[in-house]
Structure 1
Amino acid sequence: MAVHVSELANIDRAAENLGDAAYRQMKERIIRGVYRPGHKLTVRAVAQDLDVSTTPARDAINRLASEAALVYAGPKTVVVPVLDAKALQEITLIRLALEGLAAQQAAEHVVPQDVEALRALQRQINSALDAGQYADALWHNKEFHFAIFRLARLPHLVSMIETLWLRIGPSLHDLYPEFAKERFGVHNHEVAMEALEERDGPGVRAAMENDIRDGYRRLRRACRERATRSAQ
């Protein structure tokens, strides 16, 4: 039985869509902290987790490994990398530059509806923090930040920032429960939204940079604590 070329094209597109979907789901799990630093993954385990076949699971793993979000630990195993103090410092410096730029540019394009959407996201963050649902708080926090970044209308910049978040995402759980009690991020977000309302680019940039620095101080301490435990 002959197979029409268009049917083959449809099959290829379906496979590509499954691979893209698996990639997006894995990215979300990494940023949410479902896969924590040091977590080992196999193609079969990922396929079962995502309820897909091994082909899209393998494709997703390969893409994430190429972005340094995963590291190969053998022919069939990858590991979520543990962020050490040096890598954390480097990523933080790059985040300050790229995310600061995106935040400042966002002020040039923001409209009142955008700020309303950000306030809705902030309410979701607050609710998750109140309930101790830190994985949800992290995900809504990511949505908040990227809603601002996308306002910059610089898609290549946003793509670069997302790669950094994949590297730092699994370690962000180290922020809690301290950040839930002190609400450092909540304050920074409020300042950022007020600056956006005023279309104050430098003000938005300063607020987002402060958010990064506050997180960096807690994550740096967590890195030191982890290194101390490993040395014992």
Structure 2
Amino acid sequence: MLNDLGTATPFAPIDRQASLGELAYTSLKESIVSGQIVPGSKLTVRSVAQALGVSTTPVRDAIVRLIGEGALVNLGPKTVVVPVLTIDTLEEVTKIRLALEGLAAFEATAHIENADISFLEETQGGINEAMDKAQYADVLSLNKAFHFRLYTASQMPRLVALIESQWLRIGPSLNDLYPEWAIHRRGVSNHQWAISGLKDRDATTVRAAIENDLRDGYRRLSNLVLSRQGEAGSP
């Protein structure tokens, strides 16, 4: 690119359309990862564009990216759906999550700062309060914030990106954990266990707490998925 003096500059002009596409992608991805959209939900380019306050072009680009990442399934030229979890997908994603999130939790323990631990404690308090009020969308959003604040402390951004790719597949289905998990406070003890391990700088404990959290979720979701698949296969 040439400037007013006719000499080359290292800067390319900002592509506003590309920027809007990235913003649309980030917003839609966050809604999926944090469970704000439930499995089976149908989305149209126009409805998402209206919700985000942008034109259809950046939304279409964002949706194409998310289809490629397995977070959405194409139903036609203008409609996509959030896929319903199958037992095969759940088992695969859980195995990957155990490996990746366990590693992130372990590595985070050596780097985490007191401000991060305070954030986790405050976030868990928010989760508890939201469960008391049956505000499960808030619970899911805060749960995502809890996990990714911990994983980000690992100082391994590529690892965190890989973890996020798995949450794109599992995030919507975390809705199925509630209201049971709110009634029995499942997950709370695992988070508290992780926080205790972080304070002691005990990486093995933190890893075990997060892995136990994932296994608890797997047991609940697998029972539901198998039950639904059985019902679908019934005459």
Q: 1 CA distance for matches of 2:144 and 2:134?
A: 17
Name 2:100's counterpart in structure 1: 98
2:47 aligns with 45
- Segments of 4+ in structure 1 off by > 3 A? none
Q: Secondary structure at the match of 2:204?
A: helix
Query: What is aligned with 1:180?
Result: 182
Offset of 1:60 from its aligned partner?
Answer: 1.1
- State whether residues 191 and 204 of structure 1, in contact with CA within 8 Å, keep that contact through their aligned partners in structure 2: yes
Q: Which moved more, 1:132-141 or 1:57-66?
A: 57-66
Partners of 2:206 and 2:111 in 1: how far apart? 13
- Give the TM-score normalised by the residue count of structure 2: 0.91
Give 2:64's aligned residue. Answer: 62
Does structure 1 retain, via aligned residues, the 8 Å contact 2:35–2:141?
Answer: no
SS in 1 for 2:117: helix
Q: CA deviation at 1:49?
A: 2.1
2:227 to 222, 225, 228: 225
Q: CA deviation at 1:15?
A: 2.0
In structure 2, the gaps of 5 or more residues are none
Match of 1:162 in 2: 164
Cα shift readout 1:161-205 (whole Å, capped 9, x = no counterpart): 001001001100110011001112110000000100111111100
The structure that is helix-richer by fraction is: 1
Aligned-residue offset at 1:48: 1.6
Aligned-residue offset at 1:17: 2.4
Q: Cα 1:41–1:151, aligned 2, differ >3 Å: closer, same or farther?
A: same
Amino acid corresponding to residue 45 of structure 2 in structure 1: V
Other structure's SS at 2:103 match: helix
Picking from 201, 204, 220, the partner of 1:202 is 204
In 2, Cα distance between equivalents of 1:91 and 1:84: 11
Q: Which amino acid aligns with 2:108?
A: A
With 206-215 and 179-188 compared, the bigger mean Cα shift is at: 179-188
Which moves more between the two structures, 40-49 or 178-187? 40-49
CA distance in 1, matches of 2:149, 2:37: 24
Q: Aligned AA for 1:120?
A: E
TM-score by length of 1: 0.92
- When structure 1 is superposed on structure 2, of 181-190 and 22-31 the one drifting more is 22-31
Give 1:68 shift: 0.6
Cα displacement string for residues 21-72 of structure 1 (whole angstroms, at most 9, x for unaligned residues) = 2112212221343322122222112112222100111111011111110112
Count of paired positions: 227
1:10 Cα deviation from its structure 2 partner: 4.6
AA in 1 matched with 2:193? V
1:41 counterpart SS class: strand
| Higher alpha-carbon deviation: 141-150 or 60-69 | 60-69
Alignment check: 8 A CA contact 1:105 1:152 kept = yes
1-structure distance, mates of 2:108, 2:207: 9
The 3-state SS of whatever aligns with 1:35 is coil
Give the 3-state SS of the residue equivalent to 1:107 in structure 2: helix
Hey, what's the Cα distance between the residues in 2 that align with 1:15 and 1:124? 37
**Cα offset for 1:121?**
0.9
Matches of 2:115 and 2:33, distance apart in 1? 27
Task: Name the structure 2 match of 1:113.
Answer: 115
